[in-house]
Structure 1
Amino acid sequence: MFDRHHAVWPENMPRHLSLPQTSLYTNLEVSALRYPDRDAINYYDSPITFAELKAQVDALAGYLQAQGVERGDRVLLFMQNAPQFIIGYYAILRANAIVVPVNPMNRTAELEHYLDDTDAAVAICGQELAGFIAPLVGHGNLRRVVVAAYSDYLTRDTDLPLPEEVQAPAAPVKGEGLVSWQQALAAGEPLGPLLVGPDDLAVFPYSSGTTGAPKGCMHTHRSVMATCVQGAVWSHGTTESVTLATLPYFHVTGMQGSMNSPIYGGSLIVLMTRWDRRVAATLIERYRVSRWVNIVTMAIDLLSDPQVEDFDLSSLENIGGGGAAMPAAVSDKLFQLTGLRYMEGYGLSETIAGTHINPTDKPKAQCLGIPVFDIDSRIINVETGEEMAVGEVGEIITHGPQVFQGYWKRPQETQKAFIELDGKRFFRTGDLGYYDEEGYFFIVDRVKRMINASGFKVWPAEVESLMYRHPAIQESCVISTPHARRGETVKACVVLAADQRGQVSEQQIIDWCRDEMAAYKVPQVVEFRDELPRSPTGKVMWRALQEQEWAGQARQAC
């Protein structure tokens, strides 16, 4: 068991946590029983109590069961942050089913994969996204889509500027298989028994790799419960905590830190659908927000607001997240403004958020932190599996209660993702890093081929697969390229079909991609090439292209 970090373990913090032996839904049930009249959610100044939240969850769960949703079925949850996301999430769990959170930036072609992979018969979506999934009713097993208008939950006047999707009134829901959110809640369907427990599957966040389409990470109620409870305890969360929710809920960090943890603790979620730094500052001041889980780019944006010092941010007790390293200058400004250091952490979809977090009293800059409760992490040689020593770079592997069961329908990839060491099953993260003398972990590179654009993970193989739908593209290799604001962004090296050369421009390819895929995946740069470099076995040498790109950009910067 790795224990080098115990010397810097937070004072008066237990090293082991006993997790509840229940379903995630039970967390909501208990909080609603204890605090029925306490606000669970505040949505742009409109409150929802725990009692109201549970009542609507149960109503929707009854409707899902009436549609044939049974224990172990997968249900797509395709929407932006809104009260309906939380209600939908817990209703799916209460129906004894599995939540499949889908990035709302995905489009029809991408949704086909999720439907085919999960065999989902039911989906829940925001009305602004209905046009992307409605054409797929009848595709595979999909037969019912519940459509939600976010404005239904604006029950009080607000002076806050609202995103267009939130302002939009509920539109008539028409089309085969489509039903409105309000119709579903009003159906009055009876609710069957809660059958699932800690070892049943609960959530499938989708991850990806170098070899194809996104794959579902199978998480049980127990593994999701782990980071839900660990995060609350590590950040000293209480019933009086107020959490600002700005990270998207489909993402495991937002899902756990800004939704499941507060519901477990019976505390308030101040919820935003879209990021707006001025609205965020107003909400922090107005509701005395104490906890804010974010990505580094959000913190940078808030602190770059010339009017940020006009707001009272003194209620903040914990600010942290990840997605990229926090620049020292920004960290210093945060400290000057709030007296707080940014608490960087590390986790993946496969670990349903954090496995490593910086100690609140002894954080290190641009550092992943230390392994948290019941986590055993090591550094191994990528090729041999041999354990590495202090300061030696290798692959980060981790063992703990939040590690997933494996990839849905992919036993071979599951087998490759784990290694046995000292009689334990460790997950191979694919990230290269090292630990220092005190047991703090640092990341230096990635074994996996992945682009990190402002905290959004872009998987080149997925983008390439989508680009091959363009009739003019013969070959495509997606790599990263430096970007001043995002750190890195997406570049596509493209070989056009012989009869298309000179007929299609780089910008036309980019414009086509914008229509076909989520915005963060769209190549910001397209470079036409006569051919792509290949290995002796005929494989495209993406790593060579990647190294050429960064070396070339470095020379230009000199």
Structure 2
Amino acid sequence: MSKLTHQIQEALLQNRPILHEKETWYTTKELQWEMTKVQDYLITAGVSKGDRVLVGLPNSYQFISIFLGIINYGAVVVPMNPYMPEIEFLSFIERSKPVFGFIKPEYTNFLLKEEVKRIPLDSFCRVDYDGYTFFDFKELNKPFQREANIEEDSIAILLYTSGTTGIPKAVGLTHEQILETATNIIMSHELKSMDTTYCFSPLFHINAQVVAVLSTILSHGKIVLDEKFSATKFWKVLSEFQITWVSAVPAIISILLEKPQPSEIPTHVRFIRSASAQLPMIHAKRFEQRFGIPLIQSYGMTEAASQICVNPLPPKKRVLGSVGRPVGLQLQIVDSNGRKVPTNKVGEITIRGKNVITSYVEALNQNDFRNGWFHTGDLGFMDQEGFVFIVGRIKEMINRGGEKISPYELEDVIRQLPMIKEAAVIGIPHHLYGEEIVAYIRQKQHDHNDELEQLVIDHCERNLTSFKCPAKVVIVEDLPHGPTGKVQRSRLKEISLEYFQNRQHSSMR
């Protein structure tokens, strides 16, 4: 038994309400029983410790009980977006190679279709479970390893993060790394048994898994769970359930600022935490001035099991615009040669610590790990008091509301259309989501389709998760290229910003 599994079990010993969903409070005793039921299914199916188990469910009590059950069993949780299109789902299975899975019935029905030739029809069994489905992949995907015991360095969660090449990198987080981050969060947020958090962030992300769920469970607090964020019910939930803290993303902060102020702002909310993307300073100031609730900016990523930096809670000093100070790990800013830069000088953020992975489980290369440090690809600086500021990214990823999107993945999908000669995707600033996706395309000379822009959007929506689809499609005659023929994205972004600014000015005349 690892320290993480031991502490989870210890936190569930005293029978008490722990999780609320859909007008029902579930107790620790009920949660333990559900976890045991999950583990019985795994035993019956022949799942071994170290085997990968897919979880493709929406935010729910079932997700959390399955998630915890798998971790305590010693298998590896492989969370997936439960709303991804069927074709993307099939690719995810082939990439992650689970031996067992908990998925929505519609995915099972898709896999049963005869035209899905890549999945042998005799390679699985299905069992209904509370409206969801068990799916056995063992004949298709042989286990990667067999473990007799759960060690501290045993992988507990396997997540995928897209790289600049567009090929997803597999991040295997160990029991020790997850517990280390959860402990750091409990300490930095001063979480206690009287705290109740409101969780609406997607549970297939590391942020919700560790920040909202595991940190709350290990600190003996309570969770109010919703499938997704709703601006109309946000303040009502905070008041009704005496919520003391919330983990959100900048897009939600922006939405709340655009809505009418509630008649009563609950005074029991200690803070709202902002993570997953850069929060505009003007939004942070407006939020605190309007609602009087401390907004705690933070910084994290999957490779660090979520949290890296966070601002101190009041009455300690906070710096709006900063993601806070490093917590529980080492952070240094380096130049392109890996040398530490002076205070207030911009460079790449690098980290190392007990909660930071030292290599990817699967990746085309391990270049992000050099001399014991993980290179985040984020650009920033640190002031004299140790507060970290993020100013941009070296990598060409698009960050839409906290969702990291590879332009290469989207370009590959667009190029599937026969009339497309070339495609280049970038992110441009957006007041609500941080960035929005713009696809620039060149069509073949003999194809002149007046409806091409909409065709591209429709094609993307059929083949990709919604947040990966372009908000705008622009048809151009040429794209900026470098000496080697590669599209110059920085130059394209400059052209794009000028183009949309001119369009905005023209529409205002």
Asked whether the two chains share a fold, i.e. TM above 0.5, the reply is yes
Structure 2 match to 1:74: 52
Distance 1:531 1:116 in 2: 36
Picking from 356, 361, 364, the partner of 1:403 is 356
Deviations 1:338-360 (A, max 9, x none): 54321000011111211100111
C-alpha distance 310-127 of structure 1, shift in aligned 2 (>3 A): farther
Counterpart of 1:487 in structure 2: which amino acid? G
For residue 417 of structure 1, report the CA deviation from its aligned partner: 0.7
Deviations 1:249-268 (A, max 9, x none): 11111111111111112211
Helix, strand or coil at the partner of 1:452: strand
Picking from 366, 379, 388, the partner of 2:321 is 366
For residue 439 of structure 1, report the CA deviation from its aligned partner: 1.2
Query: Does the CA contact (< 8 Å) of 2:12 and 2:28 recur in 1?
Result: yes
Counterpart of 1:31 in structure 2: which amino acid? A
Distance 1:134 1:500 in 2: 38
C-alpha distance 106-215 of structure 1, shift in aligned 2 (>3 A): farther
Structure 2 match to 1:31: 11
Picking from 259, 278, 296, the partner of 2:250 is 296
Helix, strand or coil at the partner of 2:351: strand
Number of paired residues? 492
TM-score, structure 1 as length reference: 0.82
Distance 1:525 1:442 in 2: 30
For residue 551 of structure 1, report the CA deviation from its aligned partner: 3.9
Distance 1:148 1:533 in 2: 53
Query: Does the CA contact (< 8 Å) of 1:454 and 1:486 recur in 2?
Result: yes
Distance 1:88 1:264 in 2: 17
For residue 488 of structure 1, report the CA deviation from its aligned partner: 1.7
C-alpha distance 148-338 of structure 1, shift in aligned 2 (>3 A): farther
Structure 1 match to 2:160: 206
Helix, strand or coil at the partner of 1:261: helix
Helix, strand or coil at the partner of 2:119: coil
Structure 1 match to 2:335: 381
For residue 333 of structure 1, report the CA deviation from its aligned partner: 4.6
Report whether the alignment pairs 1:350 with 2:303: yes
Report whether the alignment pairs 1:464 with 2:464: no
Structure 2 match to 1:219: 173
For residue 503 of structure 1, report the CA deviation from its aligned partner: 6.8
Distance 2:21 2:386 in 1: 40
Distance 2:112 2:195 in 1: 39
Distance 1:226 1:118 in 2: 25
For residue 433 of structure 1, report the CA deviation from its aligned partner: 0.6
Structure 2 match to 1:50: 28
Q: How does 1:488-499 map to 2 (within 5 A)?
A: 488-499=435-446
Report whether the alignment pairs 1:448 with 2:426: no
C-alpha distance 200-285 of structure 1, shift in aligned 2 (>3 A): same
For residue 334 of structure 1, report the CA deviation from its aligned partner: 3.6
Distance 2:475 2:303 in 1: 35
Distance 1:26 1:176 in 2: 28
Structure 2 match to 1:114: 92
Counterpart of 2:485 in structure 1: which amino acid? G
Distance 2:135 2:368 in 1: 41
For residue 554 of structure 1, report the CA deviation from its aligned partner: 4.8
Counterpart of 1:368 in structure 2: which amino acid? V
Counterpart of 2:198 in structure 1: which amino acid? L
C-alpha distance 456-532 of structure 1, shift in aligned 2 (>3 A): same
Distance 2:297 2:247 in 1: 10
Query: Does the CA contact (< 8 Å) of 1:122 and 1:142 recur in 2?
Result: no
Query: Does the CA contact (< 8 Å) of 2:335 and 2:341 recur in 1?
Result: yes
Helix, strand or coil at the partner of 2:386: coil
Report whether the alignment pairs 1:517 with 2:469: no
Picking from 533, 538, 541, the partner of 2:480 is 533
Picking from 7, 19, 35, the partner of 1:41 is 19
Helix, strand or coil at the partner of 2:429: strand
Q: How does 1:231-242 map to 2 (within 5 A)?
A: 231-242=185-196
Unpaired segments ≥5 residues, structure 1 = 1-20, 150-169, 179-192
For residue 248 of structure 1, report the CA deviation from its aligned partner: 1.0
Distance 1:142 1:542 in 2: 44
Query: Does the CA contact (< 8 Å) of 1:222 and 1:402 recur in 2?
Result: yes
C-alpha distance 118-327 of structure 1, shift in aligned 2 (>3 A): closer
Helix, strand or coil at the partner of 1:313: coil
Distance 1:406 1:73 in 2: 19
Query: Does the CA contact (< 8 Å) of 2:427 and 2:435 recur in 1?
Result: yes
Deviates more, 1:386-395 or 1:540-549: 540-549
Distance 1:61 1:262 in 2: 22
Deviations 1:417-442 (A, max 9, x none): 1121xxxx110000011111211111
The percent of aligned pairs where both chains have the same amino acid is 26
Distance 2:182 2:127 in 1: 27
Counterpart of 1:351 in structure 2: which amino acid? A
Deviations 1:394-422 (A, max 9, x none): 10001111112422222x522x01121xx
Deviations 1:303-354 (A, max 9, x none): 4332x43245111112112234444454345434554321000011111211
Picking from 397, 414, 419, the partner of 2:370 is 419
Query: Does the CA contact (< 8 Å) of 1:89 and 1:99 recur in 2?
Result: yes
Distance 1:464 1:496 in 2: 13
Deviates more, 1:122-131 or 1:426-435: 122-131
Distance 1:64 1:138 in 2: 25
Picking from 425, 428, 444, the partner of 1:478 is 425
Report whether the alignment pairs 1:393 with 2:346: yes
Deviates more, 1:99-108 or 1:249-258: 99-108
Q: How does 1:163-174 map to 2 (within 5 A)?
A: 170=131
Query: Does the CA contact (< 8 Å) of 1:316 and 1:338 recur in 2?
Result: no
Structure 1 match to 2:124: 143
For residue 58 of structure 1, report the CA deviation from its aligned partner: 1.4
C-alpha distance 90-379 of structure 1, shift in aligned 2 (>3 A): same
Deviations 1:61-116 (A, max 9, x none): 22123223212211111122111110111122233211111122322222233222
Counterpart of 1:521 in structure 2: which amino acid? K
Picking from 243, 249, 271, the partner of 2:225 is 271
Distance 2:108 2:19 in 1: 25
Counterpart of 2:467 in structure 1: which amino acid? Y
Counterpart of 2:405 in structure 1: which amino acid? V
Query: Does the CA contact (< 8 Å) of 1:292 and 1:320 recur in 2?
Result: yes
Distance 1:268 1:523 in 2: 38
Distance 2:323 2:375 in 1: 16
For residue 144 of structure 1, report the CA deviation from its aligned partner: 4.7
Query: Does the CA contact (< 8 Å) of 1:122 and 1:144 recur in 2?
Result: no
Unpaired segments ≥5 residues, structure 2 = 138-146
For residue 498 of structure 1, report the CA deviation from its aligned partner: 4.5
